[in-house]
Structure 1
Amino acid sequence: MNRQQIESALKDYRWMMNSILLLEEELKHPNAKVTALYGIEAAMPKAQGGPSDPVLQEVCRREKKWNRLDNYREKCAFITSRMHLITNDREIEVLNLTMDGLSNRKIAAHMGFSHTHIKRIQESIVAKLVDKREHVA
């Protein structure tokens, strides 16, 4: 991941984790609205021009959700797998509060720093989290 992607993943970490939990729960259960019709409903002519196969539509929709879930998991795993690189106490606190979804101003108020100082600490964190392999050329 590059610097901008890491910054974005850090800021979005909280809602991505919430979305992961929600998507995992939702994808455990099939959608009951796409069950087959039985009896007279199955024999009746269907309206033309609409979606021709609701099961296929549901499969495509769920596939997109799986892809989004995988994307969120990958971003969150990247951040958590590199947290050990942050060793400074202030940076650890700012990292955890950022991952908890607090704004820079709330973090600054909590720690007694200016929000611009918090931004500098976050920039230092991102610099440590950047994947060093992408810079080797």
Structure 2
Amino acid sequence: MNKQEIENFLKNYHWMINTIKISRETLHEPNSRLTAQYGIEASLPKAQGTTSDPVLSEVVRRNKYWTSVKKYEKKVMEIQSRIHVITDEREYEVLNWILDGKGYRWIARHMGLSETHIRRIKDSIVDKLIKVSQMSQTA
């Protein structure tokens, strides 16, 4: 992983976690409001290039969605498996706020530091996460 990928993972971590959580909750309560068409609607021509089976269309849509959720899970696990390398208290605090979806300005106000200093701390965090990534690739 490179610096840009790790920064994007950190920036997107919050919404990816929420998506995973909501997806897992809805897995247990599927929405089954799809019904077959009867009467005159059943005899009308269907659109070309697609199936007229609404259940199949829903299965295809959900499979695509679950594929993207699996990608989110992989990215989240990559970040979570590397958090242990952040040992400095300020860095750990900044990392947790970033993972909670807070912006640099909000974190700076909360911690009583400048936004520039928060960005430097974030850069230090990313550098440490990159080093762990590089060490795991060479091992």
Sort the TM-score into its range (normalised by shorter chain).
0.7 to 0.9
SS in structure 2 at match of 1:119? helix
Partner of 2:25: 25
For structure 1, list consecutive stretches of 5 or more residues without a partner in the other structure.
Answer: none
**Does the Cα contact within 8 Å between 1:91 and 1:121 map onto a contact in 2?**
yes
Q: Any conservation in 1 of the 2:36–2:54 contact (CA below 8 Å)?
A: no
Q: After the TM superposition, which segments of 4 or more aligned residues of structure 1 sit over 4 Å from their partners?
A: 40-44, 133-136
Relative distance call for 1:87 and 1:108 in structure 2 (3 A) is same
Could you tell me which amino acid in structure 1 is paired with residue 80 of structure 2?
T
Q: Using the TM superposition, name which of 114-123 and 26-35 deviates more.
A: 26-35
Query: What pairs with 1:1-137 in structure 2 (closer than 5 Å)?
Result: 1-36=1-36, 41=39, 44-49=42-47, 51=50, 52-130=52-130, 131-133=133-135
Q: CA–CA distance in 2 between the matches of 1:47 and 1:111?
A: 63
Q: Say what the alpha-carbon RMSD is for the aligned residues.
A: 2.3
TM-score for both structures, normalised by structure 1: 0.85
Kept in 1, the 8 Å contact 2:34–2:55? The answer is yes
Residues paired across the two proteins, number: 134
Aligned partners of 1:16 and 1:72 also within 8 Å:
yes
Per-residue CA deviation, residues 2-53 of structure 1 (Å, 9 max, x unaligned), is 211111111111111111111112233333133446xx64994244226422
Gaps of 5+ in 2: none
Question: Partners of 2:70 and 2:40 in 1: how far apart?
Answer: 37
